[in-house]
Amino acid sequence: MELSKEPYKGTRDFYPEDMYLQKYIFDTMRRVVETYGYIEYGASILEETALYKAKSGEEIVNEQTYSFTDRGGRDVTIRPEMTPTVARMVARKRQELAFPLRWYSIPNLFRYERPQRGRLREHWQLNVDVFGIANIEADAEIIFVSYQLMKAFGAKEESFIIRINNRKLINFLLSDLLKLKPDEVYKLSKIIDRKDKLEASEFQAQVATMLADRTEAFIKLLNTKDLTELASLIPSNNGVKELLELSELLKARQIPNVVFDLSLMRGFDYYTGTVFEVFDTSALNNRSLFGGGRYDDLVGLFGEEKVGGVGFGMGDVTIKDFMETYGLIPKYKTTTQVYICPINAEYFQKADELAQSLRENGINVVVDYTERKLASQIKTADKQGLAYIICVGDEEVETGKYKLKNLHTHEQVEVLETELLATIKSS
Ligand code: HAM
């Protein structure tokens, strides 16, 4: 049987043009978050399975992880998300770290999912988290950074919307108002989490299995968009108070596209307060782009004093789909600037000398050693998207003058060897 040329299901090969885009995405992410003082950390892709069992949620641990037993008998999981890892790292050095922390990372994560648009088995995810700020200012900053990231990728305000909700409010509705038992709260919150993926009738049917004749009233409540009205009904609920405060802070930061959405759950069990999600508003790509929230109990799970965290994860796949939808993908540009074409092997040494002196001055140069005709060499340079070619032959070596041709503009200038560098740099 022939070996397959395809990458493993749900993963991607990154050819240079794909890598160029990936790098653009990561560079943009880094640039934005670093302006807010977030600093980078990293960790291994392998963790002990117990780490995820603690809080990530059953779905992700039972159905979506790549787990195995190592040769020493340890249960190991390839990380499906970064939050448990970062919480572990914070707990591990809690005594030494200078809180509040503003940390980010761009790890690759692995989830055993059914590959589809926006969902793969390996993706990279920018994680931006604050640790050690108890008040809502941190939640507002995190959402503001998300908003600024969208702007940095070229998004217009009308192309995306930020939905916000609060776990304290949802828990109050499900436990106190509906008087559901903890396992029922869990079950119903998972149904609500799937709301967008279900037909309205199917959603209603699933809710009805739990709430019977209270279904209609509950769904009506879920669709409430008016936070002030809700606040007047349950003024003492902390979730509502936090949401009101958050809305004010986001208004003060002049983010126009924030909406309250009581049905926004977010899958993970560890969120304890604010949850938010950024959605694409276009009909072509109407889906969740990324999201996050506050988790005040994760660090404490490691036997340390509680340290609250709030953050989000932004995936490379969904942001790329978004950029495609809106025509925001930058044009590929190779990092190599100059292609030197010796007319035959006799001129390799001279070509190397020229190349080396340019490289020492910060220009990226390749020399064509194929001994092909000049026309073929130039064709390769053009196909690879290089800007400049310099040919090296008898005439050039005798006169000391080189033709520097720009393949993008088709302009050609003849310059002395000593002027090559300055000419390239000035254009
Ligand atoms: P999450 O919602 O599971 O949250 O993932 C965050 C984002 O990562 C998603 O909105 C999406 O952009 C991307 N993503 C997730 N799974 C996939 C996949 N299979 N294929 C492509 N993209 C994917 C978390 O992971 C939380 N740990 C985020 C967080 C950080 N919360 C607080 N801090």
Q: What pLDDT score does 21 carry?
A: 98
Q: How far is the CA of 188 from the centre of ligand 1 (A)?
A: 22
Whether pLDDT at 62 is above 80:
no
Work out which ligand 1 atom sits closest to the CA atom of 111. 19
Task: Name all residues whose Cβ lies below 6 A of ligand 1.
Answer: 81-83, 111, 113, 119-120, 123, 125, 127, 129, 288-293, 311-315, 317-318
Residue 55: pLDDT band with limits 50, 70, 90: low
Q: What pLDDT score does 140 carry?
A: 98
In this prediction, residues 52-74 reach a mean pLDDT of 83
| Overall pTM > 0.85 | yes
Whether pLDDT at 59 is above 70:
no
Q: How far is the CA of 123 from the centre of ligand 1 (A)?
A: 9
In this prediction, residues 96-108 reach a mean pLDDT of 98
- CA-nearest residue for atom 8, ligand 1, is 315
CA–CA distance, 277 with 299 (Å, rounded to integer):
23
Beta-carbon contacts of 164 under 8 Å, excluding residues fewer than 6 positions away, are 143, 243, 246, 247, 258, 259, 260, 261, 264, 274, 275, 276
Whether pLDDT at 317 is above 80:
yes
Going 196 to 201 to 207 to 213, the CA torsion angle's sign is: positive
Q: How far is the CA of 128 from the centre of ligand 1 (A)?
A: 12
* Ligand 1 pocket test, candidate residues 61, 163, 272, 290, most atoms within 8 A of CB: 290
Q: Which of 107, 108, 121 is nearest to 63 (CA)?
A: 121
Q: What pLDDT score does 57 carry?
A: 62
CA–CA distance, 222 with 405 (Å, rounded to integer):
65
* Ligand 1 pocket test, candidate residues 81, 108, 307, most atoms within 8 A of CB: 81
In this prediction, residues 266-293 reach a mean pLDDT of 92
Strands (E) located in 4-57? 39-40, 46-48
Whether pLDDT at 409 is above 80:
yes
Q: What pLDDT score does 58 carry?
A: 63
In this prediction, residues 90-99 reach a mean pLDDT of 96
Q: Which of 366, 377, 380 is nearest to 337 (CA)?
A: 366
Domain range annotation of the chain: 16-325, 338-426
Q: How far is the CA of 313 from the centre of ligand 1 (A)?
A: 5
C-alpha distance from residue 278 to each of 50, 254, 290, 311 (Å): 30, 16, 5, 13
Residue 61: pLDDT band with limits 50, 70, 90: confident
Strand order in the sheet with 75-78: 46-48, 75-78, 66-69
Q: How far is the CA of 125 from the centre of ligand 1 (A)?
A: 7
Residue 284: pLDDT band with limits 50, 70, 90: confident
Q: How far is the CA of 206 from the centre of ligand 1 (A)?
A: 25
Q: Give the residue, 272 or 61, on which the prediction is more confident.
A: 272
Q: Which of 51, 58, 55, 113 is nearest to 79 (CA)?
A: 51
- CA-nearest residue for atom 26, ligand 1, is 313
- CA-nearest residue for atom 14, ligand 1, is 315
pLDDT tens by residue, 19-40: 999 999 999 999 999 999 999 9
Long-range CB contacts for residues 390-396, cutoff 8 Å, separation at least 24: 390/338, 390/339, 390/340, 390/341, 390/354, 390/420, 391/340, 391/341, 391/342, 391/343, 392/340, 392/341, 392/342, 392/343, 392/347, 392/350, 392/351, 392/354, 393/342, 393/343, 393/344, 393/347, 394/343
CA–CA distance, 163 with 263 (Å, rounded to integer):
10
pLDDT tens by residue, 201-225: 999 999 999 999 999 989 988 888 8
- CA-nearest residue for atom 10, ligand 1, is 290
Q: How far is the CA of 329 from the centre of ligand 1 (A)?
A: 21
Whether pLDDT at 118 is above 80:
yes
pLDDT tens by residue, 334-373: 999 999 999 999 999 999 999 999 999 999 999 999 999 9
In this prediction, residues 320-339 reach a mean pLDDT of 96
Q: What pLDDT score does 410 carry?
A: 95
Whether pLDDT at 297 is above 90:
yes
Give me the residues paired with residue 280 across strands: 160
pLDDT tens by residue, 149-180: 999 999 999 999 999 999 999 999 999 989 99
* Ligand 1 pocket test, candidate residues 103, 124, 125, most atoms within 8 A of CB: 125
Strand 338-342 and strand 388-392: the pairing is parallel
In this structure, the number of other CB atoms found within 10 A of the CB of residue 319 comes to 25
Q: Which of 344, 331, 345, 354 is nearest to 415 (CA)?
A: 354
- CA-nearest residue for atom 1, ligand 1, is 313
Whether pLDDT at 134 is above 80:
yes
Q: What CATH number does the domain located at 16-325 have? A: 3.30.930.10
CA–CA distance, 49 with 65 (Å, rounded to integer):
9
Whether pLDDT at 54 is above 90:
no
Q: What pLDDT score does 196 carry?
A: 84
Class of domain 338-426: alpha beta
